[in-house]
Amino acid sequence: MLEELEKLQLQAFAELESAVDSRELEQWRICYLGKKSRLTQVLRSLSTLPLDERRNTGARANTIKKSLENALEERGHSLETSRLVLSLENKRVDITLPGYPMPIGRSHPTTQTIEEICQVFQKMGFQVFEGPDVEWDYYNFEALNIPADHPARDMFATFWIDSNRGKRNRLLRTHTSPMQIRVMEHTPPPIRIIVPGRCYRYEATDTTHESMFYQVEGLAVDKNITMADLKGTLFDFCRCIFGEERKVRFRCDYFPFVEPGVEIAIECLACHGNGCRICGYSGWIEILGAGMVNPDVLRRVGIDPEVYSGFAFGLGVERVPMLRYGIDDIRLFYNNDIRFLRQF
């Protein structure tokens, strides 16, 4: 029995050295250390041997089993080390080679446009302010000369947030004009500000309308401000954004918080004033609304309209790149299609 165990040990060591992967190691373990292995059968048959022979044979069998287990563990570590070394050799990086180019992030086209608009007005001496997206009814409507029963409220499809005793109080702002009131309440003239920000209206989306969009509001209040100052400021802005040769047109319009109100249009970039489908064959495209601040708005914030006057204007940010690049659907700005965004 002892001779048989010695032969078994020599044979097991020889086969273990020839194992080259984990699959062959597992087969070796089953063969020599498994429940049905020859070594296990020897240990189970010890009870049939005489007492003296049983003691010697059992001790030797356990010693061989322990040595085989240790050898299996060492061989496993050795094969794993060899595998790692081979893998590192195959995947070794040549540090002299140039690295992989990293993709460069870009600002969203709406963000780019806002920054450009702000830079134009900052050069004219305007400061940039931001306001809350969730606004009080007072600032969004009432303080801007739009009381609860005013027909102009029909122009704004509003997202209301809450109400108090049947009266609606808070909403997602429908325009950035509420910041006019907030600034004038706490800042004495002279005032020159622009307010970029998100606006919200509860309406169906189509190629020219979105429920969330960006606006830039402008306000200037000081002594002796006239319509000429408004026209000069917006003429300069339009030519900075759309080109020095671009023609600009002013026409009367109505907004509750300005008097008189005007709409500003530029010569169509597609047909250069000859008339086409984009401009409705008029040769002009409206880009913003403006006007002289209504005296009632000034009185409401404690500014004397007999001493001070001002002008205000507002434009949709997405309209600028749509006109510049011939984009015919405002929804493209918010679909997060990387193919579209990479063009800017």
d(CA 239, CA 245): 7
Asked whether residue 197 carries a pLDDT value surpassing 70, the answer given is yes
pLDDT tens-place string over residues 55-73: 777 777 778 788 888 888 8
Q: Give the model's confidence band at 310: pLDDT under 50 very low, under 70 low, under 90 confident, else very high.
A: very high
- Please answer whether residues 257 and 144 qualify as being in contact, where contact means their C-beta atoms are separated by less than 8 angstroms: yes
Asked whether residue 165 carries a pLDDT value surpassing 70, the answer given is no
Q: For residue 329, what is the DSSP state? A: -
Amino acid identity for residue 103 in this structure: P
Residue 125 has what pLDDT?
Answer: 94
Residue 47 has what pLDDT?
Answer: 65
Residue 246 has what pLDDT?
Answer: 83
d(CA 61, CA 12): 13
DSSP string covering 167-191, please?
EEEEEE-SSSTHHHHHHHHH-PSPE
Residue 164 has what pLDDT?
Answer: 64
Taking the mean position of all CA atoms in its chain, how far away is CA 340? 15
Is the pTM above the cut of 0.85?
no
Q: Please provide the average confidence, as pLDDT, over all residues in the chain.
A: 85
Report residue 327: phi and psi, to 5°. -80, 125
Q: Which two tokens stand for residue 39?
A: 């070594």
What percent of the chain lies above the pLDDT cut of 70? 94
- Please answer whether residues 145 and 178 qualify as being in contact, where contact means their C-beta atoms are separated by less than 8 angstroms: no
Q: For residue 75, what is the DSSP state? A: H
Mean pLDDT of the 29-58 span: 72
Q: Which two tokens stand for residue 98?
A: 């140039």
Q: Give the model's confidence band at 163: pLDDT under 50 very low, under 70 low, under 90 confident, else very high.
A: low
Asked whether residue 156 carries a pLDDT value surpassing 80, the answer given is no
Asked whether residue 231 carries a pLDDT value surpassing 70, the answer given is yes
- Please answer whether residues 54 and 6 qualify as being in contact, where contact means their C-beta atoms are separated by less than 8 angstroms: no
Q: 94-116 burial by CB neighbour count: b if 16+ within 10 A, else e?
A: eeeeeeeeeeeeeeebbeebbee
d(CA 231, CA 285): 17
Asked whether residue 248 carries a pLDDT value surpassing 80, the answer given is yes
Q: Give the model's confidence band at 166: pLDDT under 50 very low, under 70 low, under 90 confident, else very high.
A: low
Bigger pLDDT: 139 vs 24: 139
pLDDT tens-place string over residues 251-286: 999 888 999 999 998 888 777 778 877 677 888 888
The residues spanned by each domain of the chain are 2-90, 109-341
Q: Give the model's confidence band at 76: pLDDT under 50 very low, under 70 low, under 90 confident, else very high.
A: confident
- 60 CB neighbour count, 10 Å cutoff: 16
Asked whether residue 301 carries a pLDDT value surpassing 80, the answer given is yes
Residue 89 has what pLDDT?
Answer: 77
Asked whether residue 151 carries a pLDDT value surpassing 70, the answer given is yes
For residue 62, give the H/E element and its range. helix 51-90
pLDDT tens-place string over residues 81-140: 888 888 877 777 777 888 888 878 888 999 999 999 999 999 999 999 999 999 998 999
Asked whether residue 51 carries a pLDDT value surpassing 80, the answer given is no
Q: Give the model's confidence band at 149: pLDDT under 50 very low, under 70 low, under 90 confident, else very high.
A: confident
Tell me how long the chain is. 344
Q: Residue for token digits 């809450």?
A: 162
Closest CA to 143 of 179, 100, 118, 107: 179
Q: Residue for token digits 């089993």?
A: 65
Q: Give the model's confidence band at 338: pLDDT under 50 very low, under 70 low, under 90 confident, else very high.
A: confident
Asked whether residue 49 carries a pLDDT value surpassing 70, the answer given is no
Q: For the domain made up of 109-341, give the CATH fold.
A: BirA Bifunctional Protein; domain 2 (3.30.930)
Asked whether residue 244 carries a pLDDT value surpassing 90, the answer given is no
CB < 8 Å & 24+ apart, contacts of 251-257: 253/289, 253/291, 255/289, 255/291, 256/144, 256/145, 256/146, 256/150, 256/152, 256/294, 257/144, 257/145, 257/146, 257/177, 257/180, 257/291, 257/293, 257/294, 257/297, 257/312
